[in-house]
């Protein structure tokens, strides 16, 4: 049973200048119990950005709105207060599978949690209700539809409800991309629980959706927290949709055993691609709304338990997936907007490890999306949808940092010149002097009266004699046939780039036309030169270097053990340990309980349940390899007979690779990382390996 752990300190009784009541009250809360619970149950020593402030507000019984990207630690914001408050926390969640995963994960951490939904038998449901009546359950997950059933709501009102958390809160908004009517009923919660703090959480919400959430839920003067949308561990890449299947196969060759999601536009394409991949020897299954519900549930279960590596899906798949080790999300077809794209790519790398997000892009996919936009009856909705589609296409076609474009779409400024983790920053496109090219395009736009689109302009420059050009007598303008040195596709690319650079502008919804800008007019006079992207000839997927700073053989052994334990317990492997925990084990080789306790993600419950099993595997591995990698180091060097690992070699380049971290080093590492130093720079400064730096940053709560 949860107990009230909030205490007040007596020494802080003076208001600081300009300090609000809430800020003053926060200073009266002793957060030591929160830190104790964080380490005991979750295996972390520090909070991620914003978590501490959010938890403080909740403990002060304030309503809170949280906009935090996937992997940012939203769940902890209500799970940890549930342990500190005296009563039960109600969590509204949209999907049965998501509830079950979170409850299983909480139980694995030693937390009394339960869910009530249609997946339970009558006896199981009665047992949960009995536990609630006896104040055994700290956190209860329910769907919005069940919560608002009058009898169920009345039963909850007889309990001591200490907190209500609305997860995936964007579902309440008709302007959100996953609107769910059942969420609208939640607007009466404040009437039934007027004194209970309410926290609404979501990973994706535009300004309009944010306003809709707070209004519909009737949040009382809520404090709003918006975390950065920047998922630093995600690698963004867009490739032309030329021989996409061959490119996909080539990519998958380098990612055997990795879990991934491939999104397709239609059910048929999802089925076809999954079948083709299976014939190639990949463990892949399709997922879409056309499949029976029990088959969809079975497919999802196989994926989260690592029984299949690849899911080929439509947009019907994903909201209920809390799988931490998805290493790639590939969009085989164009997403309809950047909100959908961001949410779907957010399913990759939840454990903080490097993961890939790839789009195969073709403008022909716009036609499929446009067809569905045209089915909308409201003209305003059509305009909004077309605007979002153009933003999505612009993201795909940009030659600048993709992370910058994505973040600025969500209203977050990104000042880095090079993010170091997208294709345009890692492999900048070669540029050419495009002054003459730009002059030809601008001149063409002028000659045809600024009344036509990109395709038409490219046709004229290539000298096309299609009927429309002849009918408009544009076959006699000077620009006609003036650009035969480039293909139509290349002229289209040049024109789009001039739009992005501001030398031209695009106006209109479904059929935008190209017009001149003052900067574009200056090009004709020769007053300024223009650099344009050199046309791409070879299509390839950029493969990032794999971080090899941990022992991959031991990692696979530990992963196999995790899979066996998970299968025996009928739970997803990542609930036992995330990949980041296994990587740290395969980096530091803990050989006793004290060492194992320091691994990120190891709380007291997991130490007791799994510690001995994993320690035995690590000790056995070290003995068989005739080395004992120290934690800290015990010998100056050891050699792996397979040649796969050498401490001596590592110590030559990373002299402090196996030494314990000191408090002074932690302080310096924190300051340097917050100052913007890269992992590579930190490796040099601290004499440690990449894995050691990343693991320590995770331990300090600086890297998710």
DSSP string, 316-361: TS-TT---S-EEEEEESS--SSHHHHHHHHTTS-TTSS-EEEEEEE
Q: What is the pLDDT of residue 256?
A: 86
Say if residue 15's pLDDT is above 80. no
- Under the banding of pLDDT at 50, 70 and 90, the label for residue 95 is confident
Say if residue 553's pLDDT is above 90. no
Say if residue 160's pLDDT is above 90. yes
H or E element in which residue 437 lies: helix 435-447
- Alpha carbon distances (Å) from 301 to 273, 287, 315, 574: 20, 12, 17, 13
71 burial via Cβ count (<10 Å: 0-12, 13-18, 19+): buried
Q: What is the pLDDT of residue 500?
A: 77
Tokens 């501001």 -> residue: 502
Query: What span, in angstroms and rounded, lies between the C-alpha atoms of 700 and 704?
Result: 10
Say if residue 665's pLDDT is above 60. yes
Q: What is the pLDDT of residue 90?
A: 96
In 3D, which of 542, 412, 531 has the Cα closest to residue 67? 412
Q: What is the mean pLDDT of the chain?
A: 83
Report residue 255 as tokens: 């990612």
- Our CA dihedral for 266, 271, 276, 281, rounded to 10 degrees, sits at 130
pLDDT digits (tens, 9 = 90+) for 592-604: 888 898 888 898 8
- Under the banding of pLDDT at 50, 70 and 90, the label for residue 178 is low
Q: Lowest mean pLDDT: which of 29-38, 92-101, 358-367?
A: 92-101
- Contact, 284 vs 311, CB < 8 A? yes
- When pLDDT is averaged across residues 294-317 and rounded to a whole number, the result is 88
Q: What is the pLDDT of residue 541?
A: 56
Q: What is the pLDDT of residue 318?
A: 62
- Under the banding of pLDDT at 50, 70 and 90, the label for residue 591 is confident
Looking at domain 21-226, its CATH superfamily turns out to be: P-loop containing nucleotide triphosphate hydrolases (3.40.50.300)
Query: What span, in angstroms and rounded, lies between the C-alpha atoms of 143 and 164?
Result: 12
Domain 431-533, architecture per CATH: Orthogonal Bundle (1.10)
For the chain, domain boundaries:
21-226, 234-416, 431-533, 552-699
Q: What is the pLDDT of residue 658?
A: 52
Query: What span, in angstroms and rounded, lies between the C-alpha atoms of 442 and 406?
Result: 29
- Under the banding of pLDDT at 50, 70 and 90, the label for residue 648 is very low
- When pLDDT is averaged across residues 157-171 and rounded to a whole number, the result is 91
Query: What span, in angstroms and rounded, lies between the C-alpha atoms of 529 and 506?
Result: 21
Q: What is the pLDDT of residue 509?
A: 65
Model-level pTM?
0.62
Say if residue 635's pLDDT is above 70. no
- Our CA dihedral for 673, 678, 681, 687, rounded to 10 degrees, sits at 60
Query: What span, in angstroms and rounded, lies between the C-alpha atoms of 9 and 500?
Result: 56
Terminal-residue alpha carbon distance, the chain? 30
pLDDT digits (tens, 9 = 90+) for 667-679: 888 888 888 888 8
Say if residue 643's pLDDT is above 90. no
Is the CA virtual torsion 48, 54, 58, 63 positive or negative? Answer: negative
Cis check for the bond before 462: say yes or no (omega within 30 of 0).
Answer: no
Report residue 260 as tokens: 């991934």
Q: What is the pLDDT of residue 31?
A: 84
Tokens 């997936």 -> residue: 321
Neighbours of 301 (CB within 10 A): 15
DSSP string for 438-449: HHHHHHHHHHTT
Q: What is the pLDDT of residue 651?
A: 45
- DSSP category for residue 199: E
CATH topology of domain 552-699: DNA polymerase; domain 1 (1.10.150)
- What is the chain's length? 704
Return left, alpha or beta for 420; rule: phi > 0 is left, psi -120 to 50 is alpha, else beta.
Answer: left
Q: Lowest mean pLDDT: which of 113-122, 141-150, 253-262, 314-323?
A: 314-323
Q: What is the pLDDT of residue 680?
A: 75
- When pLDDT is averaged across residues 407-424 and rounded to a whole number, the result is 89
Query: What span, in angstroms and rounded, lies between the C-alpha atoms of 322 and 217?
Result: 25
Identical fold at 21-226 and 234-416?
yes
- Under the banding of pLDDT at 50, 70 and 90, the label for residue 172 is confident
CA-based radius of gyration for the chain: 28
Tokens 């998805």 -> residue: 326
Percent of the chain whose pLDDT exceeds 90: 37
Q: What is the pLDDT of residue 341?
A: 93
Query: What span, in angstroms and rounded, lies between the C-alpha atoms of 58 and 84?
Result: 10
pLDDT digits (tens, 9 = 90+) for 200-215: 998 877 677 888 888 8
Higher pLDDT, 228 or 403: 403
189 burial via Cβ count (<10 Å: 0-12, 13-18, 19+): buried
Percent of the chain whose pLDDT exceeds 70: 87
- Alpha carbon distances (Å) from 116 to 21, 47, 55, 99: 38, 30, 25, 9
Q: What is the pLDDT of residue 626?
A: 60
In 3D, which of 607, 600, 627, 558 has the Cα closest to residue 701? 600
- Alpha carbon distances (Å) from 512 to 78, 81, 383, 474, 498: 46, 51, 12, 19, 15
Say if residue 269's pLDDT is above 90. yes
Q: What is the pLDDT of residue 627?
A: 53
Q: What is the pLDDT of residue 656?
A: 61
Say if residue 522's pLDDT is above 60. yes
- Under the banding of pLDDT at 50, 70 and 90, the label for residue 661 is confident
- When pLDDT is averaged across residues 413-428 and rounded to a whole number, the result is 89
- Does the domain made of 234-416 have the CATH classification 3.20.20.10? no
Distance of CA 564 to the CA centre of its chain: 28
Give me the long-range contacts of 364-373 (CB less than 8 A, separation at least 24). 364/241, 365/241, 365/265, 365/333, 365/334, 366/334, 366/393, 368/265, 368/266, 368/333, 369/265, 369/334, 369/336, 370/510, 372/336, 373/510
């Amino acid at each position: 049973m949860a107990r009230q752990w909030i205490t007040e300190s007596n020494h802080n009784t003076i208001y600081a200048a300009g300090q609000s009541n809430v800020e003053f009250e926060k200073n009266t809360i002793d957060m030591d119990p929160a830190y104790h619970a964080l380490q005991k149950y979750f295996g972390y020593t520090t909070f991620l950005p914003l978590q501490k402030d959010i938890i403080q507000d909740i403990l002060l019984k304030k309503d809170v709105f949280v906009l935090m990207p996937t992997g940012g630690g939203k769940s902890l914001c209500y799970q940890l207060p549930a342990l500190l408050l005296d009563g039960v926390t109600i969590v509204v969640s949209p999907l049965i599978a998501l509830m079950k995963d979170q409850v299983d994960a909480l139980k694995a951490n030693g937390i009394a949690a339960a869910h009530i939904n249609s997946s339970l038998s009558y006896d199981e449901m009665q047992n949960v209700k009995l536990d609630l009546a006896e104040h055994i359950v700290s956190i209860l997950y329910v769907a919005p539809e069940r919560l608002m059933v009058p009898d169920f709501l009345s039963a909850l009102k007889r309990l001591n409800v200490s907190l209500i958390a609305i997860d995936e809160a964007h579902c309440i908004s008709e302007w959100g991309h996953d609107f769910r009517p059942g969420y609208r009923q939640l607007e009466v919660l404040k009437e039934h629980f007027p004194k209970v703090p309410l926290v609404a959480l979501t990973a994706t919400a535009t300004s309009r959706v944010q306003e809709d959430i707070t209004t519909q839920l009737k949040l009382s003067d809520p404090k709003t927290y918006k975390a950065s949308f920047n998922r630093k561990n995600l690698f963004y890449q867009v490739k032309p949709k030329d021989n996409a299947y061959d490119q996909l196969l080539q990519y998958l060759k380098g990612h055997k055993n990795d879990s991934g999601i491939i999104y397709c536009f239609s059910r048929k394409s999802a089925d076809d691609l999954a079948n083709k991949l299976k014939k190639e020897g990949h463990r892949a299954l399709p997922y879409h709304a056309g499949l029976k519900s029990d088959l969809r549930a079975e497919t999802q279960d196989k994926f989260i338990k690592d029984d299949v590596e690849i899911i080929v899906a439509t947009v019907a798949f994903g909201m209920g997936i809390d799988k931490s080790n998805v290493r790639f999300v590939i969009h085989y077809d164009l997403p309809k907007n950047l909100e959908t794209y961001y949410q779907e790519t957010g399913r990759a790398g939840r454990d903080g490890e490097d993961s890939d997000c790839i789009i195969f892009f073709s403008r022909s996919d716009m036609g499929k999306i446009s067809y569905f936009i045209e089915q909308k009856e409201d003209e305003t909705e059509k305009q909004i949808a077309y605007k979002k589609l153009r933003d999505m296409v612009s993201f795909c076609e940009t030659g600048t940092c993709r992370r910058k474009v994505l973040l600025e779409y969500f209203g977050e400024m990104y000042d880095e010149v090079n993010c170091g983790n997208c294709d345009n920053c890692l492999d900048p496109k070669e540029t050419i002097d495009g002054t003459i090219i730009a002059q030809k395009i601008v001149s063409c736009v002028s000659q045809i009266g600024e009344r036509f689109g990109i395709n038409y302009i490219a046709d004229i420059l290539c000298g096309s004699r299609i009927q429309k050009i002849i009918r408009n007598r544009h076959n006699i303008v000077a620009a006609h046939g003036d650009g035969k040195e480039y293909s139509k596709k290349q002229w289209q690319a040049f024109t789009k780039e001039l739009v992005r650079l501001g030398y031209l502008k695009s106006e209109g919804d479904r059929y935008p036309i190209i017009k001149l800008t003052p900067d574009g007019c200056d090009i004709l006079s020769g007053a300024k030169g223009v650099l344009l992207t050199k046309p791409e000839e070879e299509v390839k997927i950029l493969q990032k270097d794999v971080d090899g700073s941990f022992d991959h053989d031991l990692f696979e052994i530990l992963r196999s053990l995790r899979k066996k334990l998970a299968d025996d317990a009928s739970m997803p492997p990542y609930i036992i340990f995330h990949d980041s925990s296994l990587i740290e084990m395969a980096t530091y080789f803990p050989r006793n309980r004290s060492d194992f306790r320091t691994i990120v993600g190891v709380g007291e419950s997991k130490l007791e349940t799994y510690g001995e099993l994993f320690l035995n595997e690590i000790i056995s591995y070290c003995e068989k390899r005739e080395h004992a990698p120290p934690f800290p180091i015990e010998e100056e060097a050891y050699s792996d007979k397979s040649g796969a690992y050498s401490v001596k070699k590592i110590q030559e380049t990373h002299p402090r690779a196996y030494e314990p971290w000191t408090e002074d080093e932690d302080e310096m590492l924190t300051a340097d990382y917050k100052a913007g130093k890269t992992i590579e720079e930190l490796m040099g400064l601290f004499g440690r390996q990449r894995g050691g730096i990343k693991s320590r940053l995770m331990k300090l709560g600086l890297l998710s």
